[in-house]
Each structure stands twice: as C-alpha cells, then as structure tokens.
Amino acid sequence: MIQIAKAAIASFLGVFVLASLLFAESDPNILFLEASALLNSAQETERESYSAAYPLYEASIQKLEALFSEFPDSSLVAEISKGKILVGPYKLDQLRELILPQAKKRADAEENPLEVALLIAEKKADPAYRGYAIRGVALRYAEERKDERALEVALTKTWRGQRPGLLLDLSENYAKRGLIEKASGLLALALESAEAIPGTQDTLEIRASQLAAVANAYVKAGKKEKGLAIIARANEDALQIEHAYYRGRALSSVAEGYLKIGEDERASKLFSDVIQIMKNGNFEFGYPSKALVIAESYARAGMYDKAIEIIHNQPPSNRGKEWDLLDVGKIAALRGDRARADEIFRMALQVTGDSLSLQMNEQTAKILVGLASVSTKIGEEKIALDLLSQAAETMAQIKGDHDEARFFAEMALGYSEAGEREKASHLLSKALDSIDRTPGGSKDYVLGKIASGYIKIGRYHDALQIIRLKDSPYGRASILLEVAAALGGDSQREGAMELLSQAAKETDAMDSMDLRLYWLLQIANAYAELGEKQKASNLLAYAVDLSHTSEHSSSRSFHRLADGYIKIGILEKASQILSKALHATETMRDQYERNNSLTDIAIRFVQIDQVTRAMEVADLIKDDGKKAEAFSKMAATLEHAGNETKATELAAAALAIAENPNLPIDPWHLPNIAEALGEAGHLKGAERIAEKVQDPNKKIPLLLELSRIYMGRDKKAEGVELLPKVLAMAQTLNDGSSRAIWLGEIAQIWAKEGERKKALQMLTQAREASLQPPPGTDGNFLTRIFAKVLPRSKLHHDLLTSVVEGYVTINKSDLAIETASLIGKPYEKSRALLRVAKHLAETGRETQALSLLAQAHRLAHEVKSAWYSEKSPLLADIAGVYFQVNERTKGREILSEAILETKALSYPGPFISVAFAAAGGGEQEKALDLLIQALHVPNNSNVDWVKAIQLGEMAFAASDASRGTSQLKNKTRTLLHEIIKEAEALEDDR
C-alpha cells in the first residue's frame, strides 16, 4: 500500500510542477489543477487499494476548499459552484456528498472484513441474507469487545422487525461477560424497538412475537412483573389481527412466551383459543395443514397424546404423518420433556418404516406393471398378464393408507396394453371409487391417468365424464386434448374439432400466462395434426396477441410460439418470434437461464434454415459445456434436414470443446452432448463423450439410446456391442428396481432386433431383480426397509437426519447414532454422524466423538465428486471437529484432503467452506489462499443475489483468517479489495 501511495504522490507532483510553470502562484487555476490531479490519482490508485486512494480523495477536497476560501469571488469558483465546470467527471456536490463518503466506506471496509460483509449486506436487499449477515456482523463485533460498533450496527442497519431480537442477543452477550448494567440498558432498547414496530395488520404478528421474546428476557433477568406486563401487550396485539390463521399463529407465539416464563395455566388457555380458531377457520389452501397446527398447539400445551391422536386421524397428505410427528417430538424436546420426545421420535421412525414398506411394495408393483408393458411390446402377452397378476398380489399385501386409485389406474393401463379391456375397465371403476382417498396434491394427476385408461380402451364418453371431477382448467384441457387426438385417430374429425374448441375455451380460465400460452399452442398443434392449418394459424395469432399484452410472457413462451409456426410451415412468422425471443434474453440476469434460452433459439433458427443466424446466437452462449451442447443439437437438426456437411462441421466443433482437457465442462452437459452427437451420426465421438459420464443411472440410458441409434442406421454390430457394457453396469446397481428398469429396456432392444430368446432372458432377470431385496439386509425390519427404499428417497434421508438432530437436542446420543445407521447414502450418513460427534465433543465425550469422526471420514471417501462438490465441505467440517477436540495432526491431514478436493471445482462455495475450516484450525494463510481462489473460479450461478451471498461469506471467512502477521494482513487487504470490487459490480437491489 505504501508503494501505491508513493506512486500516486509522484504522479501528483509531476502535475503540480507543470501547473506551477504555467500559472502564477496566486492563480486559482493552480489549486483547481492540483485538486483535479489528486482526484485523478485517487481514481487510479483505487484500482489497487481503496485505503491508499482515500487520502488522495480527501486531499483533493481540501484543495477545492482552499480554492473557495482564498478566491471566493473568482469566476472559476462561480462556475464550479454552478456545476458548469466539473472536477474530473463530478460536480462539486457529487464529490463531497457521494464520492468522498463512498471512498471512506470502501477504505474502512478494506481494512476490516466485517465492514465488507456489512457493505455487501446493505447493497443486496435479499431479506433472509441481509438479516443473517447484519446479525452476524453485530455479534462478531460483540465477541471482539467492540461494543459501540456492535450497537451501532444493530440500531442503524437492521430491519425494525429483526432489531429487537438482535438487541436481545447483544444483551445476553453483555450479561455473560458480567456487564449487567449494559445488558439491562440493551434490554430496555429491545423493548423500545419492539414497541416501535407499527401496529398494522402486516406487522402486528411480528410485534407480538418480538414483545413475547422481550418479556421472556425480562423474566430471565429477574423482572417477572415487567415481563408479564409486556407479554400482556403482546396478547393484545395478537387479538387485533383480523386474519384467523395469522391471529392463531400470533397467539401461539404468545402462549409459548407464557410457557417460558412459567405461566402454564395462561399458556394452556391461549393454546385452547388457538385450537378453536384453527378448527373454525376456512383457510386450508396455501396454509399449513390445520390438523398440524392444532396438533402443534396441543403439544406446546404439553398434551402430547391429543396431538398424536390428531396426526394419526388426519387424512393422507403429501407431507406424510412421520414429519408431523417429528415436529411434535421437537416441541417436546424444546419443552424439556425428553422421555416423551424420545417416544415420539421412535413413533415417527416406525411410521416412516411403515410408509417405506408401503413404498417398497408399491415400487415393486409399479416395476412389475412396467415389465408387463415391455412384455406386451415384445409380443409376450401371456408373460404380461402373469406380471400384472403378480403386481396385484404385491399391492394386496399393503395395509393402511395408500394411493389405491393411482395403482388401479396404472394397472388398468397395463391390462389395456395387453388387450384385456374388461379387466382394465373393472380396475378403472375401482380407481374412481377410491379417488377420494388420494392425497389432494395428486388427485388431478390420478384422474388424468384414469381418463387415459378409458381412452386406451375406447370408452371416450367415460373419459370425458372425468372432466367434471377435475378442479383445474389445465387438467380439463388435457383430457379434452387427449380424447380429441384419439377421435382424430379414429377418423371422427367432427367430434375431435368440437373437443378442441372446448379445450380452447378452458384456456380463458387459466391464471398463468405461460401455461395459458402452452395449452393454446398444444391445441394449435392438435388442429395442425388434423390438417386444419388455418384454425391452427388463427389460434397461434391469438396466442401472439396475448403474449404482447402480458408483462409475464417468458422466453419459453416465444419458443413455443415459434414451434407452432414451424409446424404449420409459416417460417417467416417463426423467424420474427425468434428475434423477439433473442431480444428478451438481453434482460435475463440468470446466465444459466440465458444460456438455455439461447440454445433453444439457435436450434429453432436451424429448423427454419437460418444456419448463419443460428451460429451467431450460439456464439452468445457463455458456458463452454452449454455451447458444445448447442452445437451438437444443431448438428443433429441439420443431419435430419439432410445438410450433412454443416452437421459434420458443428459436430466437430462440439467434440473439440467437450474433449478439450483445458475447458471445465460441467458433467451434466455430457449426456446431452453425447446423445445429440449420436443423433447427428457421429456415434464414435458420442461413445467417447459417454465414457466420461460417471453416474451409471445417466450412463446406462445414454448407451441404450446410442445402441438404438446404431441399429436404426443399420449398424447392428456396433449397437449390439454396447449392450454387454450396459448389462454389466446394470448388474452392479444395488437397487433392484433400477436394475429391473434397465434390463427391461435391454429386452426391448433385443426383441426389436428379432432376438426373442435374449429378450426373454433379460425379462426374466428384470423380474427377479424387481423382487430381490438388497444384499446385507438380514437385520431388523426397519434396516431392511430403509436399505431397500432409501437409496432412492431423499425425503426420508432428510427425515432421518432431522430425527438425529432431535435426539441430539435431548442428549440421546446412542439413539442418534442408531438412527444415523439407517441412512443409506454416504454423504447424508456422514453428515449425521458428524453432527453427533460434534455434540459429543461439546459435552466432553471425546473418545466417542473420535470414533464417530473416523466413521464419518470413511464415509466421506465414498461420496462422489461433482462440480458443486459435497465432498470437500464435508471433509472440511470433519477436520473442524478434529481441531475442536485438539487432534490437530489428524485435522490438518483431513483439511489437506479437503483442499485437494477443491482443485478441480468450478464453484466458489466449497472453497469458502474449506476456508472457514482452515481458519478455525489456525491455518490462516491456507484459508486466505482458498478465498483468493474462490474469487477466480468460474461462477456457475451468475445470479447477483447468489454472488452477493458468496462474497459476504468470503468476507466472514476473511474475518476468521485475518488474525496473524502483518504479511497476512496485507494479503487480507488485497483479498478484501477484490471482494469489494466484485460487490460493486453487482446490481444494487435496494
């Protein structure tokens, strides 16, 4: 920084010497030139250092003040005052009131990471991050004993609804340090801030909950009477809320407040009021389940049995009863009722086991129905009927709540494909009879399945009757279109046209413009299929007019409109719409969305034979992987159109990008690139790209598709050559259901090639795989079920992780470990064990903690790396707990693994996570190096609010890493300068 300042001063002196030669010493011009030169030097200097630049800004202002003081009557002063003469690019007022304060803020921030975090939080108005960041800054200042700044941040930077809570946190910090008088003062400030929250309908609930929190703090401080008076005011606020749901929620917060201060009777009375409000309220849609809210109110009043009864008696929901029980268990844990919490957590696990058992049978039955469909396609109707009977037997074993209607509908479709119309009809009737037991969120979907079943067996009238049961115009339009297509196929044009007209009327009731346009285009396409191009054109014109009147039409809508015109051959109109779509991409802030849109536009320009324009669009794509994907898809389109020369050129360009080791291609692009290259006829190149795909569940379908393409091009030998590879990969999958699906796909390919014996062999293996339990599941019931279903069920991984957290809350480490052992995925299991290890370390049980850390570490090595890498932050967190238990050598070893894992990553998040761990372990320089790398890796997000969070987290990590020698402080300053520059480039959301 000293070198930078010296250079700036030398530059200024050169200008000063020149000015002194040109003007007399008393000339006002010399002061003005000096001020301008200093300002110019400041602007040059801040490219490297804001701290060095700020004194130059100040000196520039001082020169201007001297000019105004010494030559008040000069014409130069008059012109500057009027804004006719600028100082550099600024008017004087701008320089004083905007530029100088801004330079001061940047200079201060460059010397203090917490000020950088604050600067970013103030710039970006995302409420969740802003509140989190400002609270974090204030609490860190408090930890560093910088109490005045902590209070200043709390009072001047926070949103008023969050301010009382932060002041309570600071008050608690003072109390822990024995500063009782200061703690008391902040408590009074928290009360004042809570009372200052306006009493509008939008903010009464916030004020009530904040007052309840302040009341609790007063009681803790030994001032119960004061606390009771405050919570009474919170109760008054809650009662003023007009909307029943929010009134109930606010009263629930107040009741919890009464519980915390030992006023159980008053709390119970309020919980009874909440229960009554919820029972009487009419607000089911868009709000949490009334049953859950009532159950939670009973639980908060300590009436757990009543809460459990309500949960068990509620109808099936998409969320699942196990989650509701888990919430009740957490309430019991927070109330200190550990025995009841333990009991309810076990209950949640048992319900989860029952649910997964049901899922296991449903999954097996679904696979059997799918294999029946495969059997029908390869001409084995007898096997198909046998598989359908087996599926029905599997479902008959299920007891309790389940979605019978969906299963009956899927079975009916299976029987209809096998030509068993009567059985299909019987099952569709059963599906309709049980539709009321279908969870609300699935009902429309299942009704659609039933309608499809009736269409398959030619009972169009029955399919149309389903429309009256459909709640949404989208569902009704879907059935009308499906029946119209079937009638058109049966040469019943008039009936089909009438249904399409009805479907078009349904779009008038659609509230989403994107979906409305989607359905209009589907109807236009249906008209085109019937040969009614004029009707299709009229409907497309109407859709175009609608898109002009809406501010909410997405680029996807333009693509669909273009597709419609391409289908009916009006290419000039398609070109105009694609130009509009291209223009719309200019305002897209999300680079990922923009790249996708540009790819779609480029492909459509190829479809209308505007290849040069398509290339220009593709060149705008910023992501290399996406560009390769665009080139390969354009090549496929050109190859289908017969332009083999240009197709070959584009396929070569896609391969050059995808196979370039110096270009970081995100793995998820590879399957799309490979498949499109295959469609473009470049199958050997497609195979090479396919070999780079690591995930077997993506690689298997990709190789199957390439095999089909080979065979479709009369290259049977090459296509057949891929099948053993696919089979070998499928056989390695532990999940029998996945194995069955892929074996069934192989069976279809063999059958299509006339290899009936091989097809039947694959079908037999698929059937066995669908019924086969995974290896190593000879333990208890829950272990078997979790091992079978959980590898495919993230929802239940999340639930088990939550149960682990619940057991940690009530200090039941053994049960937490037992629950963690049920988790099937390495990452989630390692995280759960790490959470328990951290708890054991915090409670002085280091030997047990070390044992779990070793297990978590072993599991971490099973986690597959990816561009976003769950693995490196996991390793870093494991290292952090080793540091916590003072096993520094092991901690450094695992930290080195985490750092090594970040080397090939193209996303800042993992670098930041590992930097936090490094700083926490005393490895400050490594932490700073990681943060510098994080600034320079490609950022896949390109969304400003995400970048702001990343930069803010870098600043917090820099705060942890900045304790050290003066060399580290210089490195920190350089890092902070870059972070501020990046933050300044973000669009201001305020």
Q: What is the rounded average pLDDT of the residues 636-657?
A: 90
Please tell me which residue, 771 or 917, carries the higher pLDDT value: 917
**How is the chain split into domains, by residue range?**
20-111, 127-196, 201-281, 387-471, 623-731, 906-989
Quick check: 680 and 632 in contact, CB under 8 A? yes
Please tell me which residue, 941 or 383, carries the higher pLDDT value: 383
pLDDT at 319: 64
Q: What is the mean pLDDT of the chain?
A: 82
pLDDT at 339: 84
- pLDDT over 90 (residue 631): yes
pLDDT at 378: 76
pLDDT at 471: 72
Segment 70-117, tens digit of pLDDT: 998 898 889 888 888 888 888 888 898 899 998 998 898 888 888 888
pLDDT at 353: 65
**Amino acid symbol at 891:** G
- pLDDT over 60 (residue 778): no
Segment 180-227, tens digit of pLDDT: 888 899 999 999 999 999 988 888 989 998 998 999 889 888 888 998
Q: What is the rounded average pLDDT of the residues 791-801?
A: 59
Q: What is the rounded average pLDDT of the residues 596-615?
A: 92
pLDDT at 287: 46
Q: Which of 49-53, 278-282, 326-330 shows the lowest mean pLDDT across its residues? A: 278-282
Segment 498-550, tens digit of pLDDT: 999 998 898 888 877 778 888 888 998 888 888 888 988 898 888 888 877 65
Residues of the chain with pLDDT > 90: what percent?
Answer: 19
pLDDT at 144: 85
Q: How many helices (H) and strands (E) does the chain have?
A: 51, 0
Q: CATH class for domain 623-731?
A: mainly alpha
Q: Which one, of 487, 443, 442, lies nearest residue 464 by Cα? A: 487
Q: Which of 476-480, 678-682, 785-789 shows the lowest mean pLDDT across its residues? A: 785-789
Sequential DSSP letters for 578-627 = HHHHHHHHTT---HHHHHHHHHHHHHHHHHTT-HHHHHHHHTT---HHHH
- pLDDT over 50 (residue 17): no
- pLDDT over 70 (residue 739): yes
Q: Which one, of 290, 298, 291, lies nearest residue 271 by Cα? A: 298
Quick check: 763 and 329 in contact, CB under 8 A? no
- pTM for this predicted structure: 0.67
Quick check: 595 and 621 in contact, CB under 8 A? yes
Please tell me which residue, 70 or 286, carries the higher pLDDT value: 70
Segment 814-866, tens digit of pLDDT: 888 888 887 877 888 999 999 999 999 998 899 999 999 999 999 998 887 65
pLDDT at 943: 58
Quick check: 422 and 430 in contact, CB under 8 A? no
pLDDT at 104: 92
pLDDT at 894: 93
Distance CA 721, CA 974 (A): 57
pLDDT at 430: 86
pLDDT at 990: 46
pLDDT at 605: 93
Segment 459-487, tens digit of pLDDT: 888 888 888 887 778 888 888 988 888 88
Quick check: 142 and 150 in contact, CB under 8 A? yes
